[in-house]
Structure formats: C-alpha cells, structure tokens
Structure 1
Amino acid sequence: MRTMRQLHEELGGTFRDPDENQPEHFGDASTEVQAARESAIVVDRSERGKLLFTGEDRASFLHGMLTNTVEGLEDGDGNHAALTDAKGSTRADMWVYHWGDSLAMETEPGLQSAVSEFLDNYIIADD
C-alpha cells in the first residue's frame, strides 16, 4: 500500500522538508488555482488533531463551550468554532461536525490533547 507521501510524489508534489508528508506545491501556482476553480481539489488533513464526542449531552455540552452553534447541526453538517477560556482568550480553533451518533472535532495539529484536557475540566458526571 502506498503512503500519502508516495501518492503526492507520484502526482508531482514538491516537499520543503524530507520528513514532511504534506507537499508545498505541485508545480505552477496559477495552474493549481485554475484547477481548484474549475474542478475540485483534495486537501490532506491527516496531520490535524481529531476528537470524537459521544453521549447524550455531547451537543449541549459543546454548544455551551464553543463560539458557534453545535446544537441543531444536521448529520453531515459542520461549523467552524473557537474554544475560549473564562476571559475570552482563544484556546483553540476548530471545526465540529455532526457525524451519526457522535460529534467529530478537528483541531490544529497537536492541539487535540490540550483541547481534551481543557474540556474535561468542565464535564459534570451524573451519578
């Protein structure tokens, strides 16, 4: 099975760093922009942080913790949101998606643990 890097290389991807898995570009920038406008593009988001929320109160909990609507999202829909602390400082930027019986969150790379720990401080378990 090919890795994502091998696929990117086969498609002409150029990498800034030999250890990177995400290409910097695929050649001429104007050709890339034209392809995006006239067709479709695929973006490798595998390096972004991912969290999955389950349970009855998942939507109401996240709705109260984030800056955008979570309650009422239809299956397959998502919203861009931020997580802020009590003083209103942004702790993280994310996308939240309604995904079947759960909510999926996509954070900036490496922030999923910090987001999870921050949210854990506000979970109140029912007895």
Structure 2
Amino acid sequence: MGKKNQQRRRISGDATGRFLEALALVRQLHPETDEEVLFYRRYGIAMLFCPDDFLSCLICMEASQCDDPRYIPKHKFGRHMSRHHSKATVKCKDCLLAFDTAAAAGKHHHYAHSLPSGWWNFPT
C-alpha cells in the first residue's frame, strides 16, 4: 500500500473514532426511537467529523445498518457512486450525493441541508 493510501486510511480511521465517541455521547444524552431521526442524527455526526477532502456515503451508511461512517476521498466519490450505486440517479442539488427516488433525496435535503447545523445534538 502506498504512503498516500496509508495516510488516507489513518485520517479516515481517526475521524471514525471521533465519530463513534460523539455518537455514543449523543445517544446517551438524547435517546431517540424514530428510526429516520436516528439515522440522520448518525449521518450528521459522521459529516461533522468527516476529514477534509472526504465525504461520507449516506447510501452505504444506510445499507450497512451499523455505525460505519464510510469516509471516501472526494476525488473517488463519483466513481464510488457509479460503481456501487448506479441506480441512484436523483441528484442532490446541494452536494455530490444521488438517490434512487425523489422522496429519498427530499429526506436527505431536509436533514442534511435545511435543518440548522448541529440539530442532531438536541432532543427532537
């Protein structure tokens, strides 16, 4: 593995550790039962700790059903989307993500772009 790839993995690993710590704290302070809110709360925290030049793949996070923020270098994100999420054709107008349906894109837009930054730190 090249030096640059090792550095990317280290940066991603450090960010993942910070993500997991913050997620545990938020879960302790604000228990939640709504699955949709829980998921987007995890995604918001993942984006908060996302390293520069990386993105967290929301579709991979949702599919994995675990606390894995799936940090992907921005320069590889388009290729990631075409390889792993080729059916995702409804693009978000504010970021690089795409979705299978307009409804999924709308939910993402509401939680990721319409609500104030840090909303996931407060009770719903």
**TM-score, normalising length from structure 1?**
0.26
* Richer in strand (by share): 1
State the structure with bigger RCO (CA 8 A, min sep 6), 1 or 2.
Answer: 2
**TM-score, normalising length from structure 2?**
0.26
